[in-house]
Amino acid sequence: MAITAEEKEFAAYVVDLMQMVGPVESKRMFGGFGIFLDGLMFGLVAGNVLYIKADDESRNDFLDQGLLPFSYSKKGKTMSLSYFQAPEEAMEDGEIMSEWANKGFSAALRAAAKKQAKTKKK
């Protein structure tokens, strides 16, 4: 699926908005963009929507705001990932975005630590 100029601009806007968190960058993937910091994906852009990584520790922060998870259809089934829509106010305010981006990056760090711990057990 081709990515439109508008989607590229939106991903660039998200990256610019998140620079307070660190040297955030986007990479094209899955017909959208992954949002990365220090090699860890903590966000994704699909269409013109930003989704931020969540886990057991942060999921309720998203749910309490009524934010929807990223989902897609695969072989007639709806699949969802541990990424939730960013709040609307975060899309317009760098400080609010930093809070939510840090939640996502923290979830990515915890996931990486779990994965590393599993690898060491083997």
Q: Looking at residue 121, what is its pLDDT?
A: 66
**pLDDT of 4 above 80:** yes
The Cα–Cα gap between 99 and 29 comes to 25
Q: Looking at residue 97, what is its pLDDT?
A: 97
Q: Is 69 helix (H, G, I), strand (E, B) or coil?
A: strand
3-class DSSP string for 71-93: EEEECCEEEEEEEEECCHHHHHC
The pTM is what?
A: 0.91
- pLDDT tens column, 26-37: 999 878 999 999
Q: What domains can be seen in the chain, in order of their start residue?
A: 5-112 (3.30.1460.30)
The Cα–Cα gap between 12 and 10 comes to 5
Report angle CA 105, 40, 118 to the nearest 5 degrees.
95
